[in-house]
Structure 1
């Protein structure tokens, strides 16, 4: 559950950063250190893939599939939400 939450928060931050850059409130050069550096360090997609694989190997295939689907849907939703909120604030 911790991995899921951390990845969702990282996606939210990355979405907000992208929305701020798109709205002109942040410099595009900020995306590299914050987007790649901070969010890349914060998120744990290698752990996510390891946990999903371990679930599948222990015959908990439903939970493995649910983890993958929920993580992808939540991550994309968090990016969209962050970007939308940032553009609404600064756009």
Structure 2
């Protein structure tokens, strides 16, 4: 009985490159960003905590994360996803923001507010989190877009570096 051969075992077969998510450098970037994001969330929780029953620390990390993700989305989306852009997306977006923000803690806090009898806050907290997150993500997109337009304008100005005139 002949041994079965895989796609890369014989002549004429190309070996597929490793998917990006399985490369050690990618895992290290996401892990380092995740470590820093977790550390920031822990620090903010210790610094801010709760104010008047309002789970302020979780609100702050989720809003900051939405803003940073909006910035990254706009800043990195106009060019190829490679090199420094990919490193920023993976390290800051997936790693840092993924660890900084927390949906699970947010969901538990909403249930705890409702179970604790603070139903108004249990209704307001998700509304403020979602609406604030959308607004801050949009603000991040607009801010990064403004910066990239200014860069493109400066590059197109007469006498700019790289100008053929």
Verify same fold: TM over 0.5. Answer: yes
The reply to whether residue 10 of structure 1 matches residue 68 of structure 2 is: no
Which 5+ residue runs of structure 1 have no aligned equivalent?
Answer: none
Residue 50 of structure 1: aligned partner: 108
- Equivalent in the alignment of 2:93: 35
Q: How many residues align?
A: 91
Residue 30 of structure 1: how far off its partner (Å): 3.4
Q: Secondary structure at the match of 1:59?
A: coil
Quick one: distance in 2 between partners of 1:17 and 1:60?
Answer: 36
- Runs of 4+ residues over 6 Å off in structure 1: none
Q: CA deviation at 1:6?
A: 1.0
The aligned residue for residue 21 of structure 1 is 76
Q: TM-score, normalised by structure 1?
A: 0.88
Q: Which residue of 2 aligns with 1:74?
A: 132
Runs of 5+ unmatched residues, structure 2: 1-55, 150-165
Counterparts of 1:7 and 1:29, CA distance in 2: 22
SS in structure 1 of the partner of residue 77 of structure 2: helix
Partner of 2:6: none
CA contact (8 A) 1:23 1:87 kept: no
3-state secondary structure, aligned to 2:117: coil
Q: Which structure's residues are more often helix, by fraction?
A: 1
Name the TM-score, length of structure 2 as normaliser: 0.51
